[in-house]
Amino acid sequence: MGPRLTGPHADLVPVTLQFVDTRHDHQPDMVVSVGGEQFIYPNVNGQFHPPSAGGA
């Protein structure tokens, strides 16, 4: 599950990934940046989980 890219030329929208310890728990979380938005996938015991309903 992740951000949906829709519309003309959606396949050309740049998507970048960063791995940052956003929660300061010594586990790097995955930060997905696309279309001016960021989505944070928390790392829980080595697995990335979808962002919470509240967003990033």
Q: For the chain, 56 residues long, give each residue's pLDDT as a single digit of tens.
A: 677 888 999 999 999 999 999 999 999 999 999 988 999 999 999 999 998 765 44
What's the distance, CA 21 to chain centroid?
13
In a domain, 53, yes or no: no
In a domain, 56, yes or no: no
Domain housing 28: 13-46
In a domain, 22, yes or no: yes
At position 39, the amino acid (one-letter code) is: F
Exposure on the CB side of residue 32, measured as CA atoms within 13 A: 17
Which pLDDT tens digit goes with each residue over 32-43?
A: 999 889 999 999
In a domain, 6, yes or no: no
Total domains, the chain: 1
